[in-house]
Amino acid sequence: MNVTLSAARANGKVNLHLGVGEVRGDGYHELSTVFMAVDRTETVTLIPEPDAQVTSGVVAGMNTTCHVRVPDEDLDTPKNLAWRAVNAICDGAHVPPVRIEVDKTIPVAGGMAGGSADAAAAIKAAVGYMSQHGFEVPAERVQEIAAELGADVPFALMGGIALGTDRGDALVPMMGRGQYWFAFLNPRVGLSTGAVFEKLDEMRFNDVSLVPHMDTTLLSRALLSGDPVQVGAVMHNDLQAAAVALHPRLKALIRDAEMAGAIRAMVSGSGPTVAALCPDRETAQTVVEEITRSGAVEGFVTHGPAAGAMLL
């Protein structure tokens, strides 16, 4: 059998709404979130290395090429979600070892689910690689592995627009009209998702006004209108207060983005990336150019909704 490389891509996301409930018995928070996939792509390629020696699983090594700020930590380890995804999909199958190549355009620890997109693309690529060897991975197993890897991975596989409940991984597709343009702005730092959730819990203990916002009805209606002004008016993120408390520069970044022409700017997910919803592509480009001029912030323009993970 002539086995070639297997490649797939997956997109990042923005949380148009992120309601965070109380901590559950399993340590996770109850979430009510509206995801929108945006056209900012992570690409994962599996390159067969039949002669490589591996001690566990099928992954012989990994290399990540970053087209955004390079993080301080080493991404290319067995802890990486893409590495874990490939080993999980190929578990128990006698297939040649592979090297993983990741082409990254989403900021690391930026609140856009870049790691989850890597995992989703790796899952798709690994399923394709298994198929080359005559192994078909059941769809139920794919979804099970996605949920085990992380709460955002199932949506990275799915794409589009969806309501996420439970840990954020119980998904229901949502209707939406139109195309939405964003300027994404990252202050060249990372924020730990766990640290942001912990900070929110701490702040809520001392401030009873920080109540969970779990109702997504108004946003659902706004998305049906196709009007970015209506959508911007009801965007919300419970984690924003905590992210700003940990990284106070975000408050000015949000203000500056709106002054530059954004309809609404807010922290994306757990941050620190700020998602600035704009009326059109040209305005989004203007926002990026103005905010990134000093070099302290990196930014890019993209739009949604975008597709889920797919083989290339």
- 114 labeled binding residue: yes
Q: Can you give the pLDDT at residue 2?
A: 54
Q: Is 150 annotated as a binding residue?
A: no
Q: Which is catalytic among the residues 103, 118, 124, 152?
A: 152
For residue 187, the model assigns a pLDDT of 92
Tell me if 276 is assigned to a ligand binding site.
Answer: no
CATH number of the structural domain 6-173: 3.30.230.10
Which amino acid, 290?
E
| DSSP code of residue 174 | -
Establish whether 158 is an annotated binding residue.
no
Q: Quote the tokens at residue 187.
A: 């202050």
pTM of the predicted model, to two decimals?
Answer: 0.93
Q: Which one of the listed residues 13, 104, 124, 199 is annotated catalytic?
A: 13
- The tokens describing 65, both together, are 């090429």
Q: Domain residues of the chain, as ranges? A: 6-173, 180-304
Q: What's the confidence (pLDDT) of residue 289?
A: 98
What does the DSSP assignment read for 88-107? Answer: HHTTT-----EEEEEEE-S-
Residue 148: count of CB within 10 angstroms of its CB: 12
Let me know if 140 is exposed, middle or buried by CB neighbors in 10 A (0-12, 13-18, 19+). Answer: exposed
Residue 172 CA to residue 23 CA, distance in Å, equals 22
CA distances from 80 to 27, 62, 63, 150 (A): 22, 9, 11, 12
Q: Locate 126 and state its tokens.
A: 């690994």
Long-range contacts of 226-231 (CB under 8 A, 24+ apart): 226/176, 226/177, 226/178, 227/178, 228/178, 228/180, 228/181, 228/263, 228/277, 228/278, 228/279, 229/263, 229/279, 231/16, 231/180, 231/277
Residue 274 sits at the vertex; the CA angle it makes with 31 and 198, to the nearest 5 degrees, is 45
Q: What angle, rounded to 10 degrees, do the helices at 81-89 and 139-149 form?
A: 150
Question: Would you report the helix, strand and coil content of the chain in percent, each value rounded to 5?
Answer: 35, 30, 40
CATH class name, domain 180-304: alpha beta
Which residues in 260-275 are b (16+ Cβ under 10 Å) and which e? bbbbbbbbbbbbbbbb
- Is residue 164 part of an annotated ligand binding site? no
- 103 annotated active-site: no
Distance CA 116, CA 287 (A): 27
Task: Give the pLDDT score at 191.
Answer: 86
The answer to the question of whether 109 is labelled as a binding residue is yes
CA distance 146 to 163: 17
Rounded CA gap, 211 and 139, in Å? 38
Q: What pLDDT score was predicted for residue 28?
A: 87
Which two structure tokens, joined as six digits, stand for 109?
A: 């620890």
Four-residue CA torsion sign, 243, 247, 251, 252: negative
The pLDDT of residue 13 is 96
Is 279 flagged in the annotation as binding? no
Tell me the pLDDT of the chain (312 aa) as tens digits. 456 899 999 999 999 999 999 888 888 899 999 999 999 999 999 999 999 989 889 999 999 999 887 777 889 999 999 999 999 999 999 999 999 999 999 988 788 999 999 999 999 999 999 999 999 999 999 999 999 999 999 999 999 999 999 988 899 999 999 999 999 999 988 888 899 999 999 999 999 889 999 999 999 999 999 999 999 999 999 999 999 999 999 999 999 999 999 999 999 999 999 999 999 999 999 999 999 999 999 999 999 999 999 999
Q: Does 261 belong to an annotated binding site?
A: no
Confirm whether 13 is a catalytic residue.
yes
